[in-house]
Amino acid sequence: MSIDYQEAIPKRENIKLSDLIRQLRERMEFDLQPCAAESHAENKFITEADLHRPGLALAGYTDLFTYHRIQVIGNTEVDFVNSLSPAKRAEVFDKLLNFDIPVIFLTDHNKLDQSILDLADKKNIPVYQTSVETTKFMFLLRDFLEDYFALQTMLHGTMVDVYGIGILISGKSGIGKSEVALDLLERGHRLVSDDVVMLTKKSNVLLASATEMNKHFMEIRGLGIVDVMSMFGIRAIRYQKRLEVVLKLALWEDTPNINRTGLNHDHATILGTKIPLIQLPVTPGKNITVIAEVIAMNHLLKHYGYDAAEAFQKKIKAHINDKSKVHEMPKRAIEYFEGDFE
């Protein structure tokens, strides 16, 4: 089933190298030391999250060299380069640096000859050195770039964290999404975003957050704007949460096909990712807050391999297949009632 959301926000096309270096230093706390052509970082742009280690290119094979990606030179590449004669080393890098490489990172305290750095400076190719181990550096850098270039969209609803499960409460305006979230906050759960939810797709996972404008704020009809963090404290908010369940609230007459057993699993498709969908009819007196908690706990049980609907179905099938019990009346769950004086 589809959920109403805006079209995907166009992906960012690039990030300026100088901005990337600044954010890696500030956010990731990388110690990046410039080795060559630092002034040209303003004119270089990164266009994708994939990284490249130029082992084959250093060995001379450049037919499939993805030079437009960030180049990472670690222990293996440096050991290979150091095994070459000075003349061959110069020849290899003269060929390599003829490509329009956006940047080269030297990891794990590795260094290149000053003559090679001078050549990179001459070719306007920035080179940076870091003490971070190669695998860790590539993992963190790729994760940062995947987030930067990720697909995003905005969705109308309220995102809450209930028992560690990210639930998006959706439905028509005025149906009571914010009121349910407010009641959940009173019961110790946490708000991610109200009214407008920003979704980011990373590695086939949807991460939800608020926007800069509505962060920590809620709108309660008849009351107005509420500052959740000021009123309930830091324990009542989250900056981000993985979207795991969509809870769609609707009027009874608008939900003709209600799932009675839980054996039929509906899904909402958002940015190409399927998310479990539960449609809940709203009627006077129904405690949506408690049901939301049960939805979260039931999702946890399924995650750990137990599905109550399937377990109940198996019991019914086992009873039907037992020919000796076909005509028997159902028995009590307990054979003998002890005296109960409470």
Strand-pair partners of 156: 196
Active-site residue, selected from the candidate residues 190, 195, 216, 241: 195
Contact 250, 171 (CB under 8 A): yes
Strand-pair partners of 246: 168, 277
Task: Please identify which residue in the block is written with the tokens 């908690």.
Answer: 293
Q: Decide: helix, strand or coil at residue 268.
A: strand
Active-site residue, selected from the candidate residues 177, 189, 238, 241: 177
Q: Tell me: the pLDDT tens digits for 247-257?
A: 999 988 777 77
Active-site residue, selected from the candidate residues 156, 202, 215, 302: 156
pLDDT at 3: 60
Please count the other Cβ atoms lying within 10 Å of the Cβ belonging to residue 168: 28
Which helix (H) or strand (E) segment holds residue 318: the answer is helix 308-321
Active-site residue, selected from the candidate residues 4, 63, 260, 332: 260
**195 given a catalytic annotation:** yes
Q: What is the pLDDT along the chain (342 residues), one digit of tens a residue?
A: 556 555 677 778 999 999 999 999 999 999 999 999 999 999 999 999 999 999 999 999 999 999 999 999 999 999 999 999 999 999 999 999 999 999 999 999 999 999 999 999 999 999 999 999 999 999 999 999 999 999 999 999 999 999 999 999 999 988 989 999 999 999 999 999 999 999 999 988 999 999 999 999 998 888 889 999 999 999 999 999 999 999 999 988 777 777 777 788 889 999 989 999 999 988 888 899 999 999 999 999 999 999 888 888 888 888 778 766 656 677 777 777 776 666
For 159-173, give the secondary structure using H, E and C: EEEECCEEEEEEECC
Spell 130-144 as b/e; 16+ CB within 10 A means b. Answer: bebebeebbebbeeb
**319 given a catalytic annotation:** no
pLDDT at 342: 61
**156 given a catalytic annotation:** yes
